[in-house]
Amino acid sequence: MSQPQRVVLAKVGLDGHDRGIKVVARALRDAGMHVIYAGLWQTPEAVVRTVADEDADWLGLSLLSGAHMTLVPRVLELMKEAHLQHVGVIVGGIIPEADVPKLLEMGVAKTFGPGTSLDEILAFLQKPRERTP
């Protein structure tokens, strides 16, 4: 029997709206994943520390504030410095379509916008993926 996937979910920056990420957290938990919700107003440094401490398989960032092109690159940079490139990163929230290819090029595995079904998020996280050593 394999261990459940460990997923850290976090709100980075000053965004204070967390209803959506809590709904996602519950759906992932109900699907058998081990979910660690880091909470609101997290710094990139604190999020990366949580990912390392919790031995996460995935990091899910939720951003509604428009700061995704500042905060996500910083998180990815810190994850690389911490040798956590094997952890997949997904981003949800209000992400303009023009920014999605840029985020994917930086190393984000997938973005999920408003209206994405919970089944779609679960299906993505449950499919096998190649791991970076």
- Domains recognised in the chain with CATH numbers: 6-16+25-32+43-126 (3.40.50.280)
* Rounded Cα distance, 41 and 15, in Å: 7
Contact of 43 with 12, CB cutoff 8 Å: yes
> Residues near 122 by Cβ (< 8 Å), separated by ≥ 6?
27, 28, 31
Give residue-wise pLDDT tens across range 9-41.
999 988 888 999 999 999 999 999 999 999 999
Q: How confident is the model at residue 130 (pLDDT cuts 50, 70, 90)?
A: low
Q: How confident is the model at residue 133 (pLDDT cuts 50, 70, 90)?
A: very low
Is the pLDDT assigned to residue 6 strictly greater than 80? yes
Which helix (H) or strand (E) element contains residue 23? Answer: helix 19-30
Average pLDDT along the chain: 94
Give residue-wise pLDDT tens across range 96-106.
999 999 999 99
- From the list 55, 103, 73, 57, the residue with the least C-alpha distance to 13 is 73
